Every structure is written in C-alpha cells, then in structure tokens.
Amino acid sequence: MVEVLNVSSLSKSFGAIKVADDLSFQLELGECLGVIGPNGAGKSTLLNLIVGLIRPDSGRIILDGSDITGLRPHLRARRGIGRAFQIPQPFPHLTVYENVLAAATFAGGMHEDAAAEAAIEVLQLTALFAKAELLAGGLPLIDRKRLEFAKALASQPRLILLDEIAAGLTEPEVARLTEVIGGVKAGYAMIWIEHIPHALRAVADRILVLDFGRKVLEGAPGEVMDSPAVRRIYMGFAADDVA
C-alpha cells in the first residue's frame, strides 16, 4: 500500500461561510475517491486547497510523504498533481496539442520528443487527436472537458483531480469516459467529483460525502449511495419520502 495523499484537519472559511470544516482523509496509489455533495458544499474548494490556489486556515496536506501545505501551485503541479477544472480552463490561443504539450513540459518535466510523444499519447486516449491542431479557444464544451482531462493526464501526475468532467456529456460519452478513467486508474491516486451515481459506482473505491464543507459520510460506493443520509442531503428529499 502506497499512500499518495494525506489530508488532515483541513479547514477554510470565506468570511462567515465554512467551505472546509476539519476535513481528513487518505488516498492510496490506484485508489479512486469519489466526492459528492450538493452545489456549494465545498467540493471544488477542496481541490483548490489541494492544488494550492487557496490557502487553508488550518490543517496539513501531505503528498507522497512530504508536506506541501505551504508550496506554491506550480511546484505542487510539478510534484505530481494534475487537475481537470470544473469550468474548463484552456489556453485559448494555443492549439489543443500545445495545451497538452505545456502540461507535459512544465508539470511533467519532459522535453522535446519525450514531451511530444506523451502529449500525443494523451490526445489519443482522450479522443482529441483529430483536433490536435485546432485552437483550444474554439472547442465545444465537450472537447474542452476532454482537454481538461488530457492536461491533467499529460502532467504525469501521481494524484489526479477530476471536477465534474462528465457533466453535460451524453450517456454513451459518459460510458466511454468512465471506461477510460477505469482503464488508467491503477497508475494514479484519484479524486473524482461527479454527480452521476452509476459512473462513480463503476470506478470509485470509496465515496466521500460533503455538505457545508464537512465530511458527512465516507465509505464503499453502494453503502454510501444507498444511505438515508445521502438521500436526504444530496438528493434533496427526505428519506421518509422514499420509504
């Protein structure tokens, strides 16, 4: 068992709103942690804390045994964190290929031919290969989502963070994406925020439920999804209504 990520007692408030409330969890290599919770629960904020875009008020983040809590974001990326943003963040005036090449070069620490090869491999995996030479700014939403995933993969990460990359996809597209994620999963520690229960059930090893920045539940996917607490908090209706 190789522990990749260890988050302990992480807290963060924006003014009066607590967006992370004493969060602790661990993640091992080859493991996928699904994260669910209502909108505004603090899911994306948790990723922002892990990548360093937001500083926590308290708590520690350990990556591969070393404390990265004070590290600047680009250094965390180089240490092996690849992130797919919920709202895609492409480099609009660069081509799709250049977008992915940048990730392979700077976060992945690869150069010249090695970086080019890694970029192409990732483009094929994410079905963006045919669009390699198009400007990223002109891509439709679905391809922007794919590009987020591609950049995260090209970063040669240890830890990969996916934020609602299946949202807005059609059912067959979700199936294909789920298959791809399942296929590469063994090589990474992964956090996948998604609202699609069957996709998470298929890939995630554990699921963490967030509400108001607090961990409500953490456990096996079936167990968590079927729990009354999740039905009440996450699905937005009382358990009694279901029963």
Does 90 interact with another protein (rule: CB under 8 A)? Answer: yes
Look up tokens 């999963």; give the residue: 185
* Interaction between residue 89 and Mg ion (CB under 5 A): no
Q: Is 17 a binder of ligand ADP (CB under 6 A)?
A: yes
Contacting residue, 13, 14, 130, 141, with ligand ADP by CB under 6 A:
14
Q: According to CB under 8 A, which one of 59, 64, 89, 173 is a site residue for another protein?
A: 89
Smallest separation, CB 62 to another protein (Å): 20
Cα–Cα distance between 87 and 155 in angstroms, integer? Answer: 18
**Under rule CB under 6 A, residue 208 binds ligand ADP:** no
Q: Does 221 bind another protein (CB under 8 A)?
A: no
Closer Cβ to another protein, 105 or 227, answer by number: 105
Question: Is 41 an interacting residue with respect to ligand ADP (CB under 6 A)?
Answer: yes
The pattern of x and - marking residues 42 through 81 that bind another protein according to CB under 8 A reads ---------x-x------------------xxx--xx---
- Of the candidate residues 37, 52, 157, 197, the single one contacting ligand ADP (CB under 6 A): 37
Question: What residues pair up with 25 in beta bridges, in sequence order?
Answer: 7
**105 in contact with another protein (CB under 8 A):** yes
Of 11, 41, 8, nearest in space to 25 by CA: 8
Least distance (Å) between residue 84 CB and Mg ion: 12
C-beta atoms surrounding 46 within 10 Å: 26
The answer to whether residue 42 forms part of the interface with ligand ADP (CB under 6 A) is: yes
- Judged by CB under 6 A, the number of residues near ligand ADP is 11
